[in-house]
Structure 1
Amino acid sequence: MKRFLGLLILSFCINSCDDGEFEIQSFDFSSIPATSCNGANASFFIYYTNNREALFLEIPASNFPPLVTATNNPRIVTISSTNKVTYRVYNGAVTSASICSTIPPASPVPVEEWIATSGVIEIITSVNRQTNETTGQSFITGYTHTIKLVNALFVKGDGNQQLFEELFLGDYVTSVDPPTISPSSPILKCGTNLNYIFQNSGKEVITLNTVVNLFVNDITPTGQPRTAVIDGADTKMAYKVYAANVPLPATFFCVIPEPANTVPPLLKTWIALNGSTANQTGIIEVTSVLFNPTTYRHTISLRKVTFAVDGVNFTFGDLYVLGTIDTQL
């Protein structure tokens, strides 16, 4: 159980006393996961509930980006009239339905409120992933944001005050969609240029740019694929995510470098890490067969290719069949 330290600041208001003792609230939400309301719009906020108690953090959703924070370098949000932290006690059990409702319900209603007037919110973000031990596939599923209030001064309407040097709150978890590209997604080339090909699946695109002649009209011997090692220069791969489905044909894929203002806009580019023949990583493998009397079919596989951006990475697995592309005699 995460612990917190609350220091009571003496109040000169006589109403803050009860039978000679000052009122102290626990504000204990350390083991309760955070929930959010209103998506990522301007009225977004996260909250915690514990029976009749609730704690609200009204800060922009942009404070929870899919970016891992560096060690000992949390994301800092200063508590203010804009970045609000509020604790409430209700006259009955409070639920997500009552908190996120556009029209507040008649019950329960707040009977006590403490507003943070100073301090900071510290957010540490780590990545969540799902790994298949058999195939080696490892996808990012989301991010965990660990939240702590530091030197947070809460003030009640009657003048009672309470200072928390450290107040640990439950984690807020955001999810991301794993790649949806599959071997059934088409692999296309730019005109007759087989040195630059791409695979499109809705909002996602994988590009391969290489000077190695991988697509030869010749059958490859069993167990001897043509190979190219990703090096960031002669052979490069990228996994790109756009804001909407990419219409085909998308001619901007065939422009190097890709234009800055594409339609739809490019959101994120994951770059394939350099590979190694010795370690059998980051390798493009192509096997070719005679599909019919006038067509060769080339199957493209990725051997331990890892894509990375912003300090996080994912891989399709130890040996992943990307798809096929045909060439004519």
Structure 2
Amino acid sequence: MKKFACLLLFAIMLNGCDDGDLVPEIINFEEIDPVNCDNTYVLIYKLKEQESLLLQVKAETFAPLEGAPEVGTEEYDITEGGDYKLVYKSYDGVISKSNICDAIRPSFPNVSTEWFAKTGLMEVITTPNVTEPAADGSTKIAGFNHSIYMTNVTYSKPEGDQVGPEFFFGVLTTSTYTSPTVSFAATTARQCSQTQIYNWNSDSSIIIDALDPTLIQNIETTDPRTSTISSTQNKVTYTKYKTASMTADYFCKTPRPTTPEIEETWNALAGGVIEVETTKLDNTTYKHVITLKNIELKNGSLQFKLASTFIFGEITTQQ
């Protein structure tokens, strides 16, 4: 569908009177950003001095109970008695947020005109709000932008139904979801085998499967050993769990336990690099410091970057 923003512009013919009722010639909310009532995301509204444009939606449309909103385009039917409603109102005095959001709303001003959308289509284009890289090169998803378009809206008016023009309702920005912070207090990583290593804390883990076996060797390095992440080798997975109850018993098992329950799983894109520096501690013991470089994590259609140089951890091996 071709997208474009246009004026919500149509004539309102009201009976003029001298009691302060608004008698506008046109409705135009183009320059006003949509907002919501106290982070509930059920009622989205746009206000002018004596006018409001109200959009009522299901709560999970912009703020799902778990996880992130779906990225992409979704369509919803606007109906007078359904889950998605669009209403225009004019008033006989100046209004504020309290006239829209308060449980007990002010008794003044009164509604002069009220138009309900009987039918129509709402299209929502959702994109992640990814921050600019920080000083360490990392990015994060800091909420989502929802661009809202209305088409084929038929309004119920006292003088009869009227089809309004296609118009851009605006962009609603939500911040109920942010990408996880990848951080591990322990510098010591652990090894299940020569090709599987991990680090973890109480509610998250980072695992490298199919590790290039040439990376961990009991030979000191002058220059770090490096190997590139691909779909078959050096597979890096970051996992966030729903409860902070992780223990070491979870790892090195096939299949891995089903508890704690997984909340999110992020996989590293191909192209990043694993770097290992090896030093000899004594005649039989070697320390291997493992660093991830230029890693971008992906979960479905969402992506963010770790710090350009991210310390995975260190392991020790015996000769």
TM-score by length of 2: 0.78
Deviation of 1:286 (Å)? 1.7
* 8 A contact 1:2–1:31 mirrored in 2: no
Equivalence for 1:274? 270
Equivalence for 1:33? 33
Equivalence for 2:233? 234
Q: Secondary structure at the match of 2:164?
A: strand
Q: Structure 1 residues 102, 194: closer, same or farther in 2, change over 3 A?
A: farther
Which stretch shifts more, 284-293 or 56-65? 284-293
Q: Select which of 7, 28, 31 maps to 1:4.
A: 7
Q: Structure 1 residues 160, 315: closer, same or farther in 2, change over 3 A?
A: same
Structure having the higher strand fraction is 1
* 8 A contact 1:32–1:171 mirrored in 2: no
Q: Select which of 11, 22, 47 maps to 1:49.
A: 47
* 8 A contact 1:208–1:235 mirrored in 2: yes
Residue identity in the other structure for 2:225: R
Q: Secondary structure at the match of 1:169?
A: strand
CA distance in 2, matches of 1:34, 1:253: 47
Equivalence for 2:163? 163
Equivalence for 1:208? 208
Q: For residues 49-89 of structure 1, what are the alpha-carbon distances to aligned partners after superposition, in whole Å with 9 as ceiling and x for unaligned?
A: 223322222112333353332xxxx3110012221112223
CA distance in 1, matches of 2:201, 2:29: 42
Question: Is 1:327 equivalent to 2:316 in the alignment?
Answer: yes
* 8 A contact 2:186–2:313 mirrored in 1: no
Residue identity in the other structure for 1:305: I
Question: Is 1:310 equivalent to 2:300 in the alignment?
Answer: yes
* 8 A contact 1:299–1:321 mirrored in 2: no
Deviation of 1:118 (Å)? 0.5
Overall identity of the aligned pairs, in %: 28
Q: Structure 1 residues 16, 97: closer, same or farther in 2, change over 3 A?
A: closer
Deviation of 1:249 (Å)? 0.3
* 8 A contact 2:10–2:27 mirrored in 1: no
Deviation of 1:307 (Å)? 1.5
Deviation of 1:152 (Å)? 1.0
Q: Structure 1 residues 199, 179: closer, same or farther in 2, change over 3 A?
A: farther
* 8 A contact 1:242–1:268 mirrored in 2: yes
CA distance in 1, matches of 2:210, 2:117: 57
Q: Secondary structure at the match of 2:60?
A: helix
Deviation of 1:32 (Å)? 2.5
Structure 2 alignment gaps of length 5 or more: 18-22, 63-67
Residue identity in the other structure for 1:4: L
Equivalence for 1:278? none
CA distance in 1, matches of 2:206, 2:187: 11
Deviation of 1:182 (Å)? 2.7
Equivalence for 1:151? 152
Q: How does 1:217-296 map to 2 (within 5 A)?
A: 217-221=218-222, 224-245=223-244, 247-249=245-247, 251-256=249-254, 258=256, 261-263=258-260, 265-275=261-271, 282-290=272-280, 296=286
Structure 1 alignment gaps of length 5 or more: 10-14, 276-281
Deviation of 1:161 (Å)? 4.2
Question: Is 1:125 equivalent to 2:126 in the alignment?
Answer: yes
TM-score by length of 1: 0.76
Residue identity in the other structure for 2:242: A
CA distance in 1, matches of 2:227, 2:140: 24
Q: For residues 134-179 of structure 1, what are the alpha-carbon distances to aligned partners after superposition, in whole Å with 9 as ceiling and x for unaligned?
A: 64433222221111110112224x3454422212112011223243
CA distance in 2, matches of 1:206, 1:294: 28
- Between the two proteins, the alignment pairs up a number of residues equal to 301
Equivalence for 1:279? none
